[in-house]
Amino acid sequence: MSIQINTRAPAQYTESITINAPIQTVWGVLSAIDKWPAWNPDIQSVNLLGPVEVGTMFIWKSGPSKITSLLEEVSVPHSIAWTGKTMGIKAVHTYTLVERDGQTIVTTAESFEGLIVKLFKNMMVNTMAKSGHTGLEHLKNAAEKSQQSV
């Protein structure tokens, strides 16, 4: 993956999960950005402004904020990354997928920077960790359910 989170940002988060589905199935769920609200209840809406490729913007609502994001990396089926801005926060979010023995290991990483992040660092780290963890759980459930229906 060429896009990385900012390891000097005041708020960072990384976590991995093993999903009992092949990489193509997991990629299909994760990369269908406009379908995120169907499997992740933390995301209220997504407006994808083009194809899933580098340079495409999407505007989405998660929690109290509307986020404008730009796809920075799309490497089928191994990685997807975007940057985003909301309320003075600059975010970088990456997902990497590795297939192992018919399962997929998904690692997500995210960084937040900006004045509000510095002022409320602990709250931001906690919020990021909670949403990252539940997002991975929702992805796992959706991909495994999708795999069962194949």
**pTM score of the predicted model:** 0.94
Task: Give, in degrees to the nearest 5, the angle at Cα 43 between 21 and 20.
Answer: 10
Q: Is 52 exposed, middle or buried (0-12, 13-18, 19+ CB in 10 A)?
A: middle
Number of domain units in the chain? 1
* Tokens 């023995």 belong to residue: 101
Within-domain flag for 69? yes
Question: For every one of its 150 residues, what pLDDT tens digit does the chain have, with 9 covering 90 and above?
Answer: 588 999 999 999 999 999 999 999 999 999 999 999 999 999 999 999 999 999 999 999 988 889 999 999 999 999 999 999 988 899 999 999 999 999 999 999 999 999 999 999 999 999 999 999 999 999 999 999 998 776
Within-domain flag for 133? yes
End-to-end CA distance of the chain, in Å? 29
CATH number, domain of 141, equals 3.30.530.20
Q: Say how far apart CA 40 and CA 139 lie, in whole Å.
A: 7
Domain that holds residue 110: 22-148
